[in-house]
Amino acid sequence: MKKTAVYLMIILFSSLMLGGCAGTVSPVTGFIYTGVKGPVTTTETPASSKVGTASCISILGLVAIGDASIETAAKKGGITKIHHIDHESTSILGFYAKYEVYVYGE
């Protein structure tokens, strides 16, 4: 009985560590929670007055939906000249993850 419990624990731990959990694009990650913002790119276009966002989510690494493209974010914000782009990544215990792109410009 003890061997079965040990094997079950090893399988459970391995599946948690090696499984396809919801992940995010981030310079740093936290196992329990990740919530970071960072730059993507910048241009020489003058200061920005508009912002557009686009996002995608993942649940358990099994289902991922959304469109976090720069093009979609720019269209949503009515932007034709991009000044800079930032992103935000959030993950909670690997069960839920969200990636969001922020496009700033004119």
| Amino acid in the structure at residue 37 | K
Question: Can you give the pLDDT at residue 19?
Answer: 47
Would you write out the chain's pLDDT as a tens digit for each of its 106 residues? Answer: 677 877 777 766 665 554 444 555 556 667 788 888 887 777 776 777 899 999 999 998 889 999 999 999 999 999 999 999 999 999 998 889 999 999 999 8
Q: Where exactly are the structural domains of the chain?
A: 21-105
Instruction: Give strand pairing partners of 43.
Output: none
Spatial CA neighbour of 33 closest among 92, 86, 94 = 92
Interatomic CA distance for residues 85 and 101, integer angstroms? 7
Write down the number of H helices and E strands in the chain.
Answer: 2, 5
Question: Can you give the pLDDT at residue 37?
Answer: 85
| Amino acid in the structure at residue 53 | T
- Cβ atoms of residues 40 and 85 within 8 Å: yes
Spatial CA neighbour of 54 closest among 68, 75, 65, 40 = 68
